[in-house]
Amino acid sequence: MEITLKKLDDCRWLIPKTGKMRVPGLVFSNQKLLKGVEKDQSLLQVANVATLPGIVKHSLAMPDIHWGYGFPIGGVAAFEMEEGIVSPGGVGYDINCGCRLMTTLLQASEVRPLLKDLISSLFNRIPTGVGSKGPLRLSKADEAKVAVQGSAWAVKNGYGQPEDLERTEDRGTMEGADPTLLSDRAVKRGLEQLGTLGSGNHFLEIQVVDQIYDPQLAQAFRLSEGQITVMIHSGSRGFGHQICDDFLKEMAKQVSVKGLELPDRQLAYAQLNSDLGRKYLAAMSCAANYAWANRQVLMHWTRETFLHVLSTSPRELGMSLLYDVCHNIAKIERHKVEGDEISLCVHRKGATRSLPPGHPKLPEIYRHAGQPVLIPGDMGTFSFVLAGAQGSMDQSFGSTCHGAGRVLSRSKAIKLAKGRAIHRELADKGIFVQSRGKKTLKEEMPDAYKDVSQVVDVVQQAGLAKKVARLSPLGVIKG
């Protein structure tokens, strides 16, 4: 199928409704970013999502869109509750993969001399890599509590402060989680992986705020130039993968039994108003909660490591959570459609919620500024802090981009990196990296990703979020 793009303005492009599409596609991008996108099949995936039952308004793509499986990564789609569907492929395997950012009272000059020590200590403390297991061993009963309570379980058990909860999307607890729906395999895989970073594009990074775009918003987010921040990018680990896999198989079977036609099997779905649809959402919520608890535990260990290496006090370190967002999720939310506010199931696969100032779901401290939106760069490049803006409610079901987005396949990246010491290249830029394998470094090297600055410029231009600050990496640990 040939995809035609119709330019609406400098940052919006329409995929007109053709064939079996129920709604048009809407792509937030610019001329430069689109050149990369047109080479792969991600725009076809936007059109494929538009064929699903009950989809509302548009099948959306953020500027960091890239070719995923089923749904594109950087895709957003909302479905109405009666006729609409939920699709595990529209959430992804790493349910509630997301990002959290901690601010500190430290200045870059205080941290630089101890950076290697800090990174090695973090690397020793925080389990990374494929199948990594943590020092935490959950009983089945505790795992069920984590699955229901999320971050609240972590805080209750000493991993963090009560105020961390209001600074986490949905307070780190997704309602309606039901651990009795999980397979034995999912339960087993969750027992030993809480408090682990994982591999691939997951990371923990020490950063410095190197540019402020909006001083007022920066103040509201307690960000200032030269300040040290720490970003954690991780998800629900094997527990989430297994839950996605279990339900996807069940839905693929139902789609086949019912003889439903799909442009791609990975788009297999269940009606929201069906037993299987409800069960998936309740199981998915378990993984979402696990991921929030995971990032909460990782943050706690990061704080302890900083205190130890810098021999400082919690008061002097002042490490506090700015915000935690998820970027792989399906949620029932209220949105305005043709003048009426209705409930919709919003799928965000590689997209971040971006609530504008005044939104009732925001905690009091961010009510005037809007939701902090965290956009991790790829390894060795800038990350950004944005604030949610009204345009997201008007155009994208309260969503914006999530990161840089790949432009090179992993195999091409490895080919391109052949003979290069990515480690050294990053060190030359003043970035200290510690990882389990050299291969991850090559797969994840900066050349493999889109320019994240371009991505955030597009979302700002489109009014989905406002740029607040830029963060420059100093040290990274990876799987």
Partner 1 sequence: MATKPPDYVFLDHTADLGIKVRGEDLKNLFETAAEALMHLMIGGESQAKTTDMNITVSGQDLPDLLVRWLGEILYLFEGEDLVVTFIHIDFLSLSRLDAALKMVPFDPTVHKIHSEIKAVTYHQIQVIEKGSTWEAQVIFDT
Question: Contact positions toward partner 1, by CB under 8 A?
Answer: 40, 42, 66-70, 73, 89, 92-94, 129-131, 185, 188-189, 198-200, 238, 241-242, 244-245, 248-249, 252-253, 256-257, 264-266, 268, 406-412, 436-437, 439, 479
| Residue 170 or 444 with smaller CB distance to partner 1 | 444
Residue 281 CB, nearest distance to partner 1 (Å)? 19
| Residue 346 or 408 with smaller CB distance to partner 1 | 408
Length of the chain: 479
> How far apart (Å, rounded) are the C-alpha atoms in residues 399 and 394?
10
Residue 386 CB, nearest distance to partner 1 (Å)? 23
> How far apart (Å, rounded) are the C-alpha atoms in residues 427 and 101?
23
Tokens of 328: 């792989």
* For the chain, counts of helices (H) and of strands (E): 17, 19
Q: Which of 233, 241, 327, 402 is catalytic?
A: 402
> How far apart (Å, rounded) are the C-alpha atoms in residues 323 and 43?
31
> How far apart (Å, rounded) are the C-alpha atoms in residues 26 and 6?
10
Instruction: Give the bridge partners for 59, in sequence order.
Output: 25
- Number of neighbouring beta carbons within 10 Å of residue 256: 12
> How far apart (Å, rounded) are the C-alpha atoms in residues 466 and 356?
10
Residue 93 CB, nearest distance to partner 1 (Å)? 5
Residue 408 CB, nearest distance to partner 1 (Å)? 7
SS3 307: helix
| Residue 171 or 412 with smaller CB distance to partner 1 | 412
Residue 122 CB, nearest distance to partner 1 (Å)? 20
| DSSP one-letter string for 183-207 | -HHHHHHHTT-TT--BSTT-EEEEE
Residue 245 CB, nearest distance to partner 1 (Å)? 5
Specify whether 300 is catalytic: no
Angle between helices 275-310 and 140-149 (to 10 degrees): 100
| Residue 168 or 328 with smaller CB distance to partner 1 | 328
Residue 78 CB, nearest distance to partner 1 (Å)? 22
Tokens of 414: 């490895």
| Residue 168 or 234 with smaller CB distance to partner 1 | 234
| Residue 30 or 193 with smaller CB distance to partner 1 | 193
Give the type of residue at 388: G
Tokens of 145: 């509590």
Q: Where are the beta strands (DSSP E) in 20-155?
A: 25-28, 59-66, 73-80, 85-86, 98-107
| Residue 54 or 88 with smaller CB distance to partner 1 | 88
Beta carbons of 348 and 444 less than 8 angstroms apart: no
Q: Provide CB contacts within 8 A for 112, sequence distance 6+.
A: 474
Tokens of 46: 């936007």
Active site residues: 402
